[in-house]
């Protein structure tokens, strides 16, 4: 068991070594990068916005119910919602959502190319398939996912604001006051660092599971599940580690 | 010329290739034949470097492929064309893009030059006008022909075909065989075809290596394959009732 785990870790780093070799043709790399960024970003934008609005709304309602006391300042609701959404909920929950959405797409795409010998075809042509197929996906994820998280934060706060207006759990002015109080630039650095690391894990682990498939359609399904489970697990553990280090 | 000297390949404890010695001649169609599971595909994968044999040498014009640096391997691979069993066309690309792909990645030609070459290759395999179709829109035979067009796009010195007739009707199989034979002679390519199609054996087999349980069971050509006294080869060639009947009649 431990040996198998260590072998897997070794295989993963060897795979990364192949991925981060010089692209065969730069123009082809940039063309694929633009394609990947567009499909990752635009393809996930709607679901990310909907989930973010719902999340912002729920966290506002829940928090408002917990802090009904005359001793707690009115701006606390907005402040707590902003802190929860910016520091934890959006970076972690939205990344986990993207693991299911983007991660499974990456594993399926690369895995089906492996099963149908398209990866072998690239190798026979003298092209490094790991670099050609995976590097644009990783770079695209590193650029796109932090942008999606920033958009998600914006929409989650909008969701909270709309909830305040509709349900009157607080006044919109006090909620806005809370949202804008005690803001530290370091929080944004923390969020972007975290999401960039998560994006790397999501894209590289999903690609790794797709790339190492041996067999047919059944293996593709298993690789998909394993990719999602392992990426999610690593992201949650790293979340704990990064939070402990940076805060 | 490609030469195999005492090539052995293991998967764990199991020895799949057992000290194979054979050669594939330049400008000829060289067949590897044998029953399913005999080691043909493993031999082909060793030839193109997708698998590394544990023992023996694979010589490309006298130079050991397994001793090449990664750069040298990459260079020699640019001289190889491969037609996979399932065609292995990139399904997100049109046929034109598929055939143009190796030209995009491996040459510095202008777009017009590349398009001219793509159209030449598609015409050569009778797929003129299919430029904008996707692989999913093609029949099995058309996919194989598109794969051949892609394989010859960069003027390869070596062409490898893994069971090019599998899943095709006899008429289409014959067309694919003729195409491989013509292309080999037209461009002087060293072609290695992995097959268990008897029709291919007796029509295009200029050299034939028969693999039996990981050993080289027999070596010859299409002219002497039907009159061999090798029991395993005869069991393979005359396995079907039709071929048995023809043998009995003659």
Domain ranges of chain A: 45-246
Distance CA A58, CA A203 (A): 29
Tell me, rounded to whole angstroms, the distance of Cα B173 from its chain centroid: 14
How many other CB atoms sit within 10 Å of the CB of residue A95? 28
Beta strands in A87-228 (DSSP E): none
Instruction: Identify the residue among A35, A117, A132, A217 best suited for mutation to test binding to B, counting B beta carbons within 10 A and taking the highest.
Output: A117
Facing B86 at nearest CB: one of A25, A117, A124? A117
Q: Are strands B190-195 and B14-24 parallel, antiparallel or unpaired?
A: unpaired
Cα–Cα distance measured from residue B201 to residue B210, given in angstroms and rounded to the nearest whole number? 10
Give me the pLDDT at residue B207, please: 92
Q: Report the chain B residue with the minimal C-alpha distance to residue A115.
A: B88
With cut-offs at 50, 70 and 90, classify the pLDDT of residue A203: very high
Closest CA to A105 of A144, A160, A149, A146: A144
Q: Which residues pair with B64 in a beta bridge?
A: B59
What does DSSP assign to residue B167? T
For the purposes of burial, counting CB atoms within 10 Å of the CB of A70, is it exposed (0-12), middle (13-18) or buried (19 or more)? Answer: exposed
Shortest distance between the Cα of B90 and any Cα of chain A, in A, equals 6
B84-140 pLDDT, tens digit each: 888 899 998 999 999 999 998 888 889 999 999 999 999 888 888 889 999 999 988
Return the sign of the alpha-carbon dihedral for residues B167, B173, B177, B178.
Answer: negative
Q: Is pLDDT at A195 greater than 90 in this prediction?
A: yes
Q: Measure CB to CB from residue B106 to each of A117, A123, A126 and give the nearest one.
A: A126
Beta strands in B49-92 (DSSP E): 55-60, 63-64, 80-83
Which tops the pLDDT comparison, A63 or B169?
A63
Question: Does A126 contact B77 at a Cβ distance shorter than 8 Å?
Answer: yes
**pLDDT-wise least confident of A126-130, A206-210, B31-35, B164-168:** B164-168
B157 touches A at CB < 8 Å: no
Which residues of chain A neighbour B106 with C-beta distances below 8 Å? 125-127
B250 vs B238: CA distance, rounded Å: 13
Of chain B, the percentage scoring pLDDT greater than 70 comes to 100
Which are the contacts of B222, defined by CB distance < 8 A and separation ≥ 6? Answer: B201, B202, B203, B204, B205, B206, B208
Can you give the pLDDT at residue A228?
95
- What is residue B208's three-state secondary structure? strand
Within an 8 Å CB–CB cutoff, is residue B91 touching chain A?
Answer: yes
Q: Which residues of A205-222 are buried (b: 16+ CB within 10 A; e: fewer)?
A: bbbbbbbbbeeeeeebee
Question: Rounded to a whole number, what is the distance in Å from the CA of A43 to chain B's nearest CA?
Answer: 17
Taking residues A14-37, what's their average pLDDT? 90
- A68: pLDDT strictly greater than 80: no
> What is the rounded average pLDDT of the residues A32-40?
94
ipTM of this model? 0.83
Q: What percent of chain A has pLDDT over 70?
A: 100
At residue B136's C-alpha, the angle toward residues B131 and B137, to 5°, is: 55
Q: What count of CB pairs under 8 Å joins A to B?
A: 53
pLDDT at res. A58: 94
Question: Which of A28, A113, A124 faces B77 most closely, judged by CB atoms?
Answer: A124
User: Per-residue pLDDT averaged across A93-122, rounded?
Assistant: 93
Q: Helices in A67-134 by DSSP H: which ranges?
A: 76-84, 95-98, 104-115, 118-124, 129
Please choose, from the candidates A202, A205, A204, A198, the residue with its C-alpha nearest in 3D space to the C-alpha of residue A241.
Answer: A198
- The answer to whether residue B51 scores a pLDDT higher than 80 is yes
CA distances from A32 to A14, A25, A137 (A): 23, 11, 8
pLDDT tens figures, B186-212: 888 999 999 888 888 888 889 999 999
Give which of B51, B74, B150, B158 to mutate to test A binding, by max A Cβ within 10 Å: B74
Across all residues in chain A, what is the average pLDDT?
91
A24 has pLDDT over 80: no
3-state secondary structure of B33: strand
Give the residue carrying structure tokens 């506002």.
A60
Q: Provide the whole-model pTM.
A: 0.86
Q: Which two tokens stand for residue B86?
A: 């399932």
If you measure CA to CA, which chain A residue comes closest to B48? Answer: A124
């Amino acid at each position: 068991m431990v040996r198998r785990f260590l072998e897997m870790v070794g295989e993963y780093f060897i795979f990364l070594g192949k991925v981060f070799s010089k692209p065969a043709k730069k123009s082809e790399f940039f063309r694929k990068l633009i394609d990947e960024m567009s499909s990752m970003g635009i393809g996930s934008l709607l679901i990310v916005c909907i989930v973010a609005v719902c999340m912002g709304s729920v966290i506002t309602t829940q928090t408002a119910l917990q802090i009904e006391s005359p001793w707690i300042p009115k701006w606390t609701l907005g402040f707590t919602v902003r802190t929860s959404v910016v520091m934890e909920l959006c970076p972690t929950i939205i990344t986990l959502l993207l693991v299911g959405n983007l991660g499974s797409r990456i594993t399926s795409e690369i895995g089906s190319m492996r099963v149908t010998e398209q990866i072998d075809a690239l190798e026979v042509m003298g092209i490094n398939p790991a670099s050609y197929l995976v590097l644009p996906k990783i770079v695209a994820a590193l650029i796109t996912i932090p942008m999606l998280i920033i958009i998600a934060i914006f929409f989650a706060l909008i969701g909270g604001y709309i909830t305040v207006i509709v349900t009157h759990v607080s006044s919109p002015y006090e909620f806005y006051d809370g949202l804008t109080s005690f803001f530290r630039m370091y929080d944004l650095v923390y969020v972007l660092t975290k999401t960039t690391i998560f994006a790397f894990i999501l894209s590289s682990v999903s690609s790794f599971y797709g790339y190492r498939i041996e067999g047919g359609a059944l293996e593709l399904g298993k690789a998909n599940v394993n990719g999602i489970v392992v990426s999610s697990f690593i992201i949650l553990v790293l979340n704990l580690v990064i939070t402990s280090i940076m805060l | 010329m490609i030469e195999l000297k005492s090539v052995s390949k293991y998967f764990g404890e199991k020895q799949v290739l057992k000290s194979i010695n054979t050669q594939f001649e330049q400008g000829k169609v060289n067949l590897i034949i044998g029953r399913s599971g005999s080691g043909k595909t493993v031999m082909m994968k060793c030839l193109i470097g997708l698998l590394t044999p544990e023992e023996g040498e694979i010589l490309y014009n006298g130079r050991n492929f397994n001793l090449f640096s990664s750069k040298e391997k990459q260079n020699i691979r640019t001289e190889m064309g491969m037609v996979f069993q399932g065609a292995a066309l990139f399904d997100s690309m049109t046929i034109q893009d598929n055939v143009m792909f190796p030209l995009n990645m491996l040459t510095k030609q202008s777009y017009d030059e590349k398009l001219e070459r793509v159209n030449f290759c598609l015409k050569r395999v009778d797929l003129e006008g299919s430029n904008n179709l996707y692989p999913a829109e093609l029949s099995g035979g058309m996919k194989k022909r598109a794969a051949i067009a892609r394989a010859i796009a960069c003027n390869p010195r070596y062409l490898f075909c893994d069971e090019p007739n599998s899943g095709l009707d006899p008429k289409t199989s014959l067309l694919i065989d003729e195409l491989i034979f013509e292309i080999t002679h037209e461009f002087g390519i060293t072609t290695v075809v992995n097959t268990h199609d008897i029709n291919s054996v007796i029509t295009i087999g200029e050299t034939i290596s028969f693999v039996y349980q990981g050993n080289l069971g027999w070596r010859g050509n299409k002219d002497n394959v039907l009159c061999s006294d090798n029991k395993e080869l005869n069991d393979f060639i005359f396995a079907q009732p039709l071929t048995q009947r023809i043998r009995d009649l003659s």
